[in-house]
Amino acid sequence: MAEEINNKIDEIIDFARHKKVFLSKDALEVLLVRVDWKDIVEELASEGCFIVAKKDIEKKVTKTKIFLAEELGGAEVPSQKHIVEQSPKNFKIINAKNNLNKGQGNGGTNDFLELFRFKFNSLKSILEQRNSIRAKPIKNIGYVKEKEELEIIGMVYRKWETKTGNTAIELEDLESRCIVVLSKNEHGVELERHRIMLDDVICVRGIKIAKDMILAKEVIWPDIPQREIKLTKKDVCVASISDLHVGSKLFLEGAFQKFISWINGDAGSDEEKKFVKKIKYLFVTGDNIDGIGVYPKQHSELNIKSIKEQYNLFSDYMLQIPDNIEIFIIPGQHDAVRWADPQQPIPEKFVPKLYAAENIHLLGSPSWVEIEDLKVFLYHGSCLHDLIASISGLSYEHPQQGVVELLKRRCVMLTYGLSHPYAPEINENVFMKESPDLVFMGDLHHTGYLTYRGTTIVNNSTWQDRTEYQIKLGHMPTPGVAIAMNLKDRKIYARMMVS
């Protein structure tokens, strides 16, 4: 009997392979007990179904009312390596426990002190991993002779312009502080003078010019190292969307329904449909609903005036996406979680149907996911507003340049006290201890793409039309764009869903 089962397994797998269909283990279990397994595989192949899960077969069985055959009676499928390799799922959620942080401490001074120490130590250890850096503790500057070269690592405590037009910063580590002068005439630091923000952690290489004073020759950021772009062997695609703002009067329902048709392979040319079949992962980077009371007078701009109903509609949309796509959803400032970073996942009480779906993962912002052995950093992007307001040359039209600044800092906690708050919680997800292969963000309602030092950045679009607030700011969003990327070559495809 065992031999008979094994022979049938081989026969099904060979037949499916011949039809260019890959079967998951549970799909194979279902087919194994059916007399009509060839018809089912052939039908799925003719529909262009590339990866087949148990659910795909069950749908077909229900539709065609084919009955189970009893000939092999519910036999167990022996574990086989080649079946595992064909599994369409190759992902894991990293640091998942950080998503569940409910907030430690009471938000007092000591909690912030601990957070800033943690930030300093985390980024200092990233800087110290470089062989070229031999930084001294700031308190040891006293032992260095004047005009001698030295390196220090510190957090920026103060920044000001000197009477002579240079920039000065006060750097501190856990024990001491010193002044660093960034001369307008020093070529190596000219750009950095405008880039440095309070609470940044940097390494300064310079010359001691007075007691506790250094003239900077170079500013070294934690930054991600230059790496080769890591490509997958598999012909696999990811897609990403953001900022649906379901419930807003400006929600582009028609465009989003086109997206749903597109991702189901029901729209576009045959080539397009073939391409869509390759999408195995979808990232949804926050502002999933418009929320209630997020800003003054929002009520009059809402189509759906109940959070629950907004989430019900959002859930219905997500459940229309094929369930062989793994969907990762993080919150944004309009979702029903706290405003401050790091944000926790959308609670189950608002989206119970999404929690019940096996292929849907509700995560915090920021979060880390690994897919096809690639590290993915997901973040709504709330701190980008502060970056754009603080660093000249950054703009809403090129959000990817703002993400580069985050990669240089390897942290999304910027200056404390700017417009976007963060909570005094130790959450490793806010740091980029490892270099991400892919970064997906939203929030600015404007697309942007860039590969920086081996990391591919995608700033997602929105599904909300231009708001009054954006008109006042003169900000022109790029709504209704779905982004897809082939991991085999990192080519990015922007699909316009607005006519």
Judged by beta carbon, residue 151 or residue 465, the one nearer Fe ion is: 465
Judged by beta carbon, residue 23 or residue 252, the one nearer Fe ion is: 252
* Candidate segments 207-215, 241-249, 317-325, 419-427, binder of Fe ion by CB under 5 A: 241-249
Bridge partners (DSSP) listed for residue 343: 365
Judged by beta carbon, residue 247 or residue 265, the one nearer Fe ion is: 247
Query: Which residues between 102 and 131 bind Fe ion (CB under 5 A)?
Result: none
Judged by beta carbon, residue 287 or residue 437, the one nearer Fe ion is: 287
As measured in angstroms, the least distance from the Cβ of 467 to Fe ion is 9
Residue 92 exposed, middle or buried by CB count within 10 Å (0-12, 13-18, 19+):
exposed
Q: State how far Cα 468 lies from the chain centre.
A: 28
- Contact criterion met (CB below 8 Å) for 265 and 309: no
* Candidate segments 73-81, 145-153, 218-226, 279-287, binder of Fe ion by CB under 5 A: 279-287
Q: Tokens 């390596």 map to which residue? A: 81
Judged by beta carbon, residue 49 or residue 387, the one nearer Fe ion is: 387
End-to-end CA distance of the chain: 60
Listing DSSP states for 232-284 in one string gives: -SS--EEEEE----BTBTTB-HHHHHHHHHHHTT-SS-HHHHHHHTTEEEEEE
As measured in angstroms, the least distance from the Cβ of 445 to Fe ion is 6
As measured in angstroms, the least distance from the Cβ of 333 to Fe ion is 7
- Contact criterion met (CB below 8 Å) for 203 and 151: yes
Judged by beta carbon, residue 173 or residue 243, the one nearer Fe ion is: 243
Q: Which positions ≥6 away from 311 have C-beta within 8 Å? A: 246, 288, 289, 336, 346, 350, 351
As measured in angstroms, the least distance from the Cβ of 253 to Fe ion is 16
- Contact criterion met (CB below 8 Å) for 313 and 320: no
Judged by beta carbon, residue 29 or residue 287, the one nearer Fe ion is: 287
> One symbol per residue from 334 to 373: x for binding Fe ion (CB under 5 A), - otherwise; what is it?
----------------------------------------
As measured in angstroms, the least distance from the Cβ of 353 to Fe ion is 23
CA angle 12, 16, 22 (to 5 degrees): 115
Judged by beta carbon, residue 23 or residue 362, the one nearer Fe ion is: 362
Query: Which residues between 395 and 424 bind Fe ion (CB under 5 A)?
Result: none
CA angle 400, 404, 407 (to 5 degrees): 135
Tell how many helices (H) and how many strands (E) occur in the chain: 14, 19
Q: Tokens 């028609």 map to which residue? A: 254
As measured in angstroms, the least distance from the Cβ of 347 to Fe ion is 20
Radius of gyration of the chain (CA): 26
* Candidate segments 171-179, 209-217, 238-246, 487-495, binder of Fe ion by CB under 5 A: 238-246
- What's at 344, amino acid-wise? Q
Which run of H or E residues covers position 491?
strand 491-496
Contacts with Fe ion by CB under 5 A: the residue count is: 2
Q: How many CA atoms lie within 13 A of 261 on its CB side?
A: 12
As measured in angstroms, the least distance from the Cβ of 360 to Fe ion is 20
* Candidate segments 216-224, 280-288, 290-298, 487-495, binder of Fe ion by CB under 5 A: 280-288
- Contact criterion met (CB below 8 Å) for 155 and 138: no
Q: What is the DSSP letter of 99?
A: G
Judged by beta carbon, residue 199 or residue 243, the one nearer Fe ion is: 243
> One symbol per residue from 190 to 229: x for binding Fe ion (CB under 5 A), - otherwise; what is it?
----------------------------------------
Q: Which of 29, 173, 192, 243 binds Fe ion (CB under 5 A)?
A: 243
As measured in angstroms, the least distance from the Cβ of 337 to Fe ion is 14
* Candidate segments 243-251, 384-392, 473-481, 484-492, binder of Fe ion by CB under 5 A: 243-251
Q: Output the CA–CA distances (angstroms, integers) from residue 22 to 238, 295, 429, in the order listed.
A: 19, 49, 35
State yes or no: residue 29 binds Fe ion (CB under 5 A): no
Query: Which residues between 281 and 300 bind Fe ion (CB under 5 A)?
Result: 287
> One symbol per residue from 136 to 175: x for binding Fe ion (CB under 5 A), - otherwise; what is it?
----------------------------------------
As measured in angstroms, the least distance from the Cβ of 184 to Fe ion is 38
As measured in angstroms, the least distance from the Cβ of 375 to Fe ion is 25
As measured in angstroms, the least distance from the Cβ of 258 to Fe ion is 20
Q: What is the DSSP letter of 225?
A: P
**Residue numbers at the binding site for Fe ion (CB under 5 A):** 243, 287
